[in-house]
Amino acid sequence: MTLEIVQTGNPVLRKVARQMSVAEIRSDNTRLLIEQMRDTMRDAPGVGLAAPQIGESIQLAVIEDRVDYLKDVSSEELAARQRAPVDFHVIINPKLHVVGEATVDFFEGCLSVAGFGAVVGRAANVRVECLNERAEPITITAQGWYARILQHEIDHLNGTLYIDRMETRTFTTVENVDRFWNSKADVD
């Protein structure tokens, strides 16, 4: 079963989500919610979905960058974005740590700002300390596109959207990102 993805303007997207207890994380309700969020993310399709995006103000997000999402992306573009497949996983109550000072600017979109994209500067390398779906502590070290996904989803848990961080003059429709920006040959 897929869930409705709320759009910008819904107050739940602007609240800092509450932390989850160990008992709550291990509950059948949370297990079911994670399955529904996974299905919703895949159906959209997207590479991440935070609980506030489906109206739940809790510190939980699902992430997956599937192999089939990359099949039509050139090897040059994959290298430039440092993008590779990421297996499905859950982050709960995450703490984000920027590693180093390097930043990277790329277009981002969001399932809660449907149909638009803009350039957003993000840290190139991050470390995330969180709990998994079994309430076990894990540490994730990520770079490139995976680091961007983590930062984007953790922003959602803190009431921040990419439009708060975007370079405003780059805000455009997804169609125009594909038309004018994904092929730099047509752009001076």
Which residues are part of the catalytic machinery? 153
Question: Count of CB atoms within 10 A of residue 109's CB?
Answer: 19
The dihedral formed by the CA atoms of 156, 160, 165 and 166, expressed in degrees to the nearest 10 = 70
Report the amino acid identity of residue 145: W
Render 13-25 in DSSP notation, one character per residue.
GGSPPBPPPHHHH
CA atoms within 13 A on the CB side of 72: 3
Helix ranges (H only) for the chain are 22-25, 28-43, 67-70, 75-81, 144-157, 174-176
Say how far residue 100 (Cα) sits from the centre of its chain. Answer: 21
- Rounded distance between C-alpha atoms, residue 111 and residue 62, angstroms: 13
